[in-house]
Amino acid sequence: MSMESMEHLLLIALYLIMGFMCIMLSKLLGYGTINPVSVYFSIWSLDLLIYLVPSLDLRPLNFVTLVAMMLSAAAFSVGSFVMWITCRTIWPNRNDSILLRPLYDDRKLRRLYWMGFLMAVAYLILQVYLIWPTIQSLGGISSLFSPGEAINVRRGLINQTEQAAEADFTPGNLMLGLLGYMLFIGNITLFWGAYYLLRGRWFFGLFPLILSLMWSMLTLQRSTFTYALMLFLFSYYYHKHLLGRECTVHRSDRKSQIVLAFVLLGLLPLALYLPLKLRQPELSPLDTVESLLMYLVGPLAGFNVLLEEFRLIPENLGYGKWTFYGAASIIDRLGFNVTLPPPNFEYVAIQVTGDSIINIYTALRYFALDFGWLGIVVFPLMLGLASTLTHFQVIRRGAVWLIPGASVFMVIVFWSFFSPSLLRDFRYLLLLIMSSLVGQLILPLKARKSLGGVNICVPSKISPIKNSGN
């Protein structure tokens, strides 16, 4: 083994050790098991370990790639720990704020859930209406689910999306755009659905996920359902934490976990496998597994090749236009003459002898394109600050109205190994803002306060809680 390879393995080992130590430190500081630090290092460390699988035949990691990863990880950790310690200094006691029990006003929640439910259904109908001409021109619904032909439909839908994102606003498409953004807010039901599932209301809990799965299947993509599922899971975790054992109906809680396990074991493989199989019917089961591994490690491999063969820092920085592409495109279409970057990157070969190519390069490339090496440090630092602030407010102060915001930031943190997808899509930024505002409208009038360390529960109308004698 060469000296260069030894240095690279040492850097990888240092990264894994740093990740382990940061995760342990976050637990000691009271973050909880699932937190921004553990999520960040878990996915990036998993990426590194998969990268080392010999059968993937990936080009060796170069020194600069590992340095960029360590710089961004260190910046994220510093931002997270500084924010947590600052919050603990300002709010030293776990129960110094009002902790809501029940979490929501049941009547208000039910009304707003049905509004969101109808908006989500209307959004799906609107999107089907918009893409239907493209599907019809490429062979209709039969070609969509025909192995071999489906890839042409997928390409046509991608082209339509890119053209729509760059087209000037006319009165007609402006109204459709505004309607689409408004109806997309119906995805707020993903956050409330997690709460309903915990309370044993399975239909209300799972229907938002079913809608997302239907859209993913219709457009032969995996990302939409993956985002929805992750938002749902993080919301489930936060709601479960806030409900607490003393205020959770154990039977409903156990059943919700069984149902959730069924969803993960059933719907997730379907959402990941079926679109891939329809687009590439020649794939064998082993090829499919390898393709999914490439899906995880490909962005890092692409970033590695980019640093080795191409220029990472452009001559003209984007100053936010790459990372917040969706917001920049809207400003441009409103007539402010913003020079937009291309929506997609060039493809690069990521294997030594194989023919795998990719045009996704982790979130780090977007940060670098906007602010150079400073962006690789500053963006993760800001993400560590924001994600930890919302996490603290929910976990330590019972800010139930911030559960959507905390969940969105956790997904952004997790997805950083792939791309800053939720930051680039203005719809999710709008969902983050609106869901946090709407969340304050459904807080109950009654609240739970900590009295001498004893938690007093106010029974919920959804699931009456029997006196356990505590």
pLDDT, position 148: 67
* Per-residue tokens: 125: 């109908």
Q: Which of 374, 439, 372 lies closest to 404 in space, CA to CA? A: 439
CB 417 within 8 A of CB 299: yes
Instruction: Determine the pLDDT at residue 453.
Output: 34
Do residues 297 and 47 touch, judged by C-beta distance below 8 A?
yes
Q: What is the pLDDT, as a whole number, of residue 73?
A: 97
Q: Of 7-16, 147-156, 265-274, which has the strongest mean pLDDT?
A: 7-16
pLDDT digits 0-9 by tens, 270-297: 777 777 766 677 667 677 777 778 888 9
Cβ atoms of 199 and 462 closer than 8 Å:
yes
Query: Cα–Cα distance between 236 and 293 in angstroms, integer?
Result: 26
| Cβ 362 vs Cβ 295: under 8 Å | no
Q: For the chain, give the mean pLDDT.
A: 83
Q: Is residue 177 assigned to a domain? A: yes
For 362-383, write each residue's pLDDT tens digit. 999 999 999 999 999 999 999 9
pLDDT tens profile 333-362: 888 888 888 888 888 888 888 778 888 899
Domain interval for residue 53 = 3-455
Cβ atoms of 80 and 388 closer than 8 Å: yes
In this prediction, residues 104-133 reach a mean pLDDT of 91
**Band (246; pLDDT cuts 50, 70, 90):** very low
> Using one digit for the tens of pLDDT, what is the confidence trace for 52-101?
888 888 888 888 999 999 999 999 999 999 999 999 999 887 654 445 45
Domain annotation covers residue 464: no
The pTM (predicted TM-score) of the whole model is 0.87
CA distances from 203 to 174, 192, 237, 260, 439 (A): 34, 12, 19, 12, 21
Is 407 inside any structural domain?
yes
Intra-chain end-to-end CA distance of the chain, in Å = 63
Helix or strand or coil: residue 452? Answer: coil
Q: Looking at the 3D structure of the chain, how many domains does it have?
A: 1
Q: What is the mean pLDDT of residues 289-313?
A: 85
Residue 328 lies in a domain: yes
What lies within 8 Å, CB to CB, of 94 at 6+ separation is 396, 450
Q: Is 79 exposed, middle or buried (0-12, 13-18, 19+ CB in 10 A)?
A: buried
Is the residue at 465 inside a domain?
no
* Residue 470 resides in a domain: no
- At residue 451, what are phi and psi to the nearest 5 degrees? -115, 100
Closest CA to 215 of 124, 329, 341: 124
Q: What amino acid is encoded at 232 in this protein?
A: F
What region does 139 belong to: left with phi over 0, alpha with psi -120 to 50, or beta?
Answer: left
More confident residue, 108 or 278: 108
Residue 63 lies in a domain: yes
Separation between Cα atoms, residue 178 and residue 181, nearest integer Å: 5
Q: What pLDDT, on the 0 to 100 scale, is given for residue 254?
A: 65
